[in-house]
Amino acid sequence: MTQAWRTAALTGDVTELRTRLEAGQDVDARDQYGQTALMLAARLGHLEAVRALVEAGADLDHTAKYRLSALMLAAVNGREDVARLLADAGADTSLRGTGAPGFDGKTALDLAEDLGRESIAKLLRGEGR
């Protein structure tokens, strides 16, 4: 992953993301920790950046450290709008984290419930969608 691609994801710069995608950027390029731009943008709640990456065909179910996906990162960080977009786009809600005690064996729903993110838990249970 280039620094410019990483920065665009971290800042939610949709224009830069689209420009780089049009120039042939690999939508699923990974940083030194195995995270994709989708994961970075989801964790920080950059909804329009996440939307652009999903529309560009980003892998919704790629996992990195502790086997966390973009959906799981959105849930952990309380990014309800991003979690909804990812779930609606077909992100796998059955993926389970590994390694750390707080993540091991837990799905995005489990993580949302553990952290008291009730609105995210509701949407992951299919309530109110």
CATH at 43: 1.25.40.20
Q: Does residue 48 belong to any structural domain of this protein?
A: yes
Q: Does residue 16 belong to any structural domain of this protein?
A: yes
Residues 6+ apart with CB under 8 A from 51: 85
What's the confidence (pLDDT) of residue 100?
80
Q: Counting Cβ atoms within 10 Å, is residue 73 exposed (0-12), middle (13-18) or buried (19+)?
A: buried
Backbone angles phi, psi at 36, to 5 degrees: -95, 170
- What total number of domains does the chain contain? 1
Q: Does residue 60 belong to any structural domain of this protein?
A: yes
The residues of the chain scoring below 50 in pLDDT are: none
Q: Does residue 46 belong to any structural domain of this protein?
A: yes
CB 96 within 8 A of CB 105: yes
What's the confidence (pLDDT) of residue 128?
60
Q: Does residue 114 belong to any structural domain of this protein?
A: yes
Measuring CA to CA, how many Å separate 43 from each of 23, 24, 37, 97?
25, 24, 10, 15
| Exposure class string for 26-41: b at 16+ Cβ within 10 A, else e | ebbeebeeebbbbbbb
Measuring CA to CA, how many Å separate 82 from each of 1, 4, 58?
22, 22, 14
Enclosing domain of residue 20: 3-124
Model pTM score:
0.95
Q: Does residue 33 belong to any structural domain of this protein?
A: yes
Q: Look at residue 102 and give its three-state secondary structure.
A: coil
Q: Does residue 129 belong to any structural domain of this protein?
A: no
What tokens appear for 13 in the block? 């710069």
Q: Does residue 39 belong to any structural domain of this protein?
A: yes
What's the confidence (pLDDT) of residue 99?
82
What's the confidence (pLDDT) of residue 87?
97
